[in-house]
Amino acid sequence: MRLIFVNRFYWPDEPATAQLLLDLAETLAADGMGVTVIASHPGDSAVPETEVRRGVRIVRVRSARGGETSLPRKALAYATYQVRAFARLRAETQAGDCVVAMTDPPLFGIAAGWAARRRGARIVHWVQDIYPELAIALAGQGWLRLLSPWRDRAWRRADGCVTLGADMAAVLRRAGVAADRLEIIPNWAPGDLPAPAAADTAAVRAEWDARDKFVVAYSGNLGRVHDLGPVLDVAAAVRDPRVVFLFVGGGAQADQLARQAAARGLGNVRFRPRQPRARLAASLAAADVHLVTLLPGCEAYVFPSKLYGAAAAGRPVLFIGPETCEVADLVRRHGFGLAFARENIAAIAAAVARLAAEPDEPRRLGRAARTFAAAHTLAAAAAQWRRLPALQLAGAGTRRYPPPDA
C-alpha cells in the first residue's frame, strides 16, 4: 500500500501546508511507508517534475502560479492544478493505496475521492480549512452553499476525515461524518522548531532594528481570514517608544496594512518579508510576544496554526478574536497568553504595556507556552496518523522508493 498526498504546495515551496506536509510525509516515509506527494511545479527549471527526497516520491504538475493576492488569478491557479493533479492522481493510484486529499485547492477532495474509489483505493480528507463556508464568511457569496451537499457527501463516504480542532470537527459531525471516521489531529510547529542560538536571535533583532525594543510580532500569512485591523488600533494606542509592532510575512492584506499604517503615522509599526524555514526559529524567538488573530465568523472553519510556532518558541500569545472559540480557550486554559475580543483595544494595549514593563510575566507565560508546545509536536501528530484505520495497512508495507537522498 502507498500513501498518496495531494496538495498544491510541497517542498521547495514554503507555505504553511507545504511545511506541514513535508514534515508528515518524511516522517511516515522514514517509518517505511511508500509515500507519494502530488503537488504543483514552482516553475523553476532546476526543480524536476519527479524526484525522490528523503524517501518521499514527489510528482509535480505544471499549473498557473503567482497572483496569490488576486482572486481571479488564484482561481486560475486552483483550476489548472486541479485538472492536472486529478489526471495524475488517476494514473498514479492503484488498488489498496490510500489517497490523502488536503484542502488546497478547496473542495478538491470531492474529485480525489471519486478517483480513489474508481481505483479501489481508500480516501482520507485532511481538512485544514473548511470550504465553501470560509469563502462565504469572507466574501459573502451565498450561492457557494450549493457546493456543500457535494462536499458533505464526499466527507461521509470517505474512509476517514482528519481535522485540526474541536470547533472544526463539530462542522464535520453536523455534515454527518461518523464518529469512528473522524479524528482530531492538531498541527504542530514546523519541523518541531529547535531552540535557536541566542546569537541568531540577537542577529535577527539587530537586522530589524529592534535590539532594545519590546517586540510584539504577527508572524505568518497576512490573509483575509486574519483580523489585522485591530492590531493597528492597538499600535496607535500604545505610544511607548520602547514597544514596536512587527508584521512578518506576506499575503492579501499586506499592502493595504502598510498603506494604513503609513497614513496613520504609526512609526511603531514595521513590516518584514516572510522568513525562510531555515530562519524561522530565530525569527519567532526574536519577538517578545506573538499575536494570533482570527476574523469573527471564521472560527469554526480554520485554525491559526501559527499558535504552535509561537508556543514552540517559548513566547506568550495575545489572541484577538472571538472570545468563546477554541483558540481563546486553549490560550487561557494552558496559561500561555491572553485572549481578547477585537473591540477591547484599550485592554489589549494595557496588556502590551504591562508585559513590556514587567519582564518576569512574559518569561512565566513563555514557560507555559513551551509546556503547551511539548504536547503538540510532529511526533505526537505522526503517531495519531499511524493509528488511523485507513492507514493501518500502510504500517505493514515496505519502502518502495530509494533511501533518503538517493
Domains of the chain: 2-188+377-396 (3.40.50.2000), 198-374 (3.40.50.2000)
Does the pLDDT value for residue 324 go beyond 70?
Answer: yes
Residues 21-27, mean pLDDT to the nearest whole number: 96
Position 353 pLDDT exceeds 90: yes
Q: Could you report the per-residue pLDDT of 228-286, keeping only the tens digit for each?
A: 999 999 999 998 999 999 999 988 899 999 999 999 999 999 999 999 888 999 999 99
**Burial of 263 (C-beta count, 10 Å sphere; 0-12/13-18/19+):** exposed
Distance CA 149, CA 153 (A): 6
Question: How many Cα atoms sit within 13 Å of 234 on the Cβ side?
Answer: 30
**Band of the pLDDT at 65, cuts 50, 70, 90?**
confident
pLDDT tens digits, residue range 169-178?
A: 999 999 999 9
Residue 19 Cα to chain centre, angstroms: 8
* pTM assigned to the model: 0.93
Compute how many other C-beta atoms are within 10 angstroms of the C-beta atom of residue 54: 18
| pLDDT of 396 | 36
Mode of pairing for the β-strands spanning 160-163 and 182-184: parallel
Q: What is the pLDDT of residue 385?
A: 96
Residue 400's pLDDT band, with cuts at 50, 70 and 90, is very low
Residue 196 has a pLDDT of 82
Contact 107, 132 (CB under 8 A): yes
What is the rounded average pLDDT of the residues 11-29? 95
Sheet (strand 243-248) strand order: 269-272, 243-248, 214-219, 289-293, 317-320, 337-340
The predicted structure's pLDDT at residue 67: 62
Q: Which helix (H) or strand (E) holds 184?
A: strand 182-184
In this predicted structure, what is the pLDDT of residue 406? 34
Cell numbers standing for residue 402:
530509494
In the block, residue with C-alpha cell 522508493? 401
- Residue 378 pLDDT greater than 50, yes or no: yes
pLDDT at position 68: 63
293: left (phi over 0), alpha (psi -120 to 50) or beta: beta
- Provide the 8-state DSSP code for 47: S
Rounded Cα distance, 323 and 319, in Å: 9
Q: Which three cell numbers stand for residue 64?
A: 498557473
Please, what is the Cα angle at 97 between 92 and 100, to 5 degrees?
85
Taking residues 314-322, what's their average pLDDT? 97
Higher pLDDT, 355 or 194: 355
Q: What is the mean pLDDT of residues 66-95?
A: 88
Residues contacting residue 394 through CB under 8 Å, at least 6 positions apart:
1, 2, 3, 28, 33, 34, 98
Cell 511545479 sits on residue: 41
pLDDT at 182 > cutoff 60? yes
| Angle between helix 16-30 and helix 378-387 axes, rounded to 10 deg | 60
Kindly tell me if the per-residue pLDDT of 395 is higher than 50. Answer: no
What is the Cβ-side half-sphere exposure of residue 116, based on CA atoms within 13 angstroms? 29
The per-residue pLDDT for range 296-308, each reduced to its tens digit, is 999 999 999 999 9
Position 121 pLDDT exceeds 70: yes
pLDDT digits (tens, 9 = 90+) for 186-195: 999 986 667 7
Of 286 and 197, more confident? 286
Residue 389 amino acid letter: P
**Residue 210 pLDDT greater than 70, yes or no:** yes
What is the reported pLDDT for 62? 96
For residue 346, is pLDDT > 90? yes
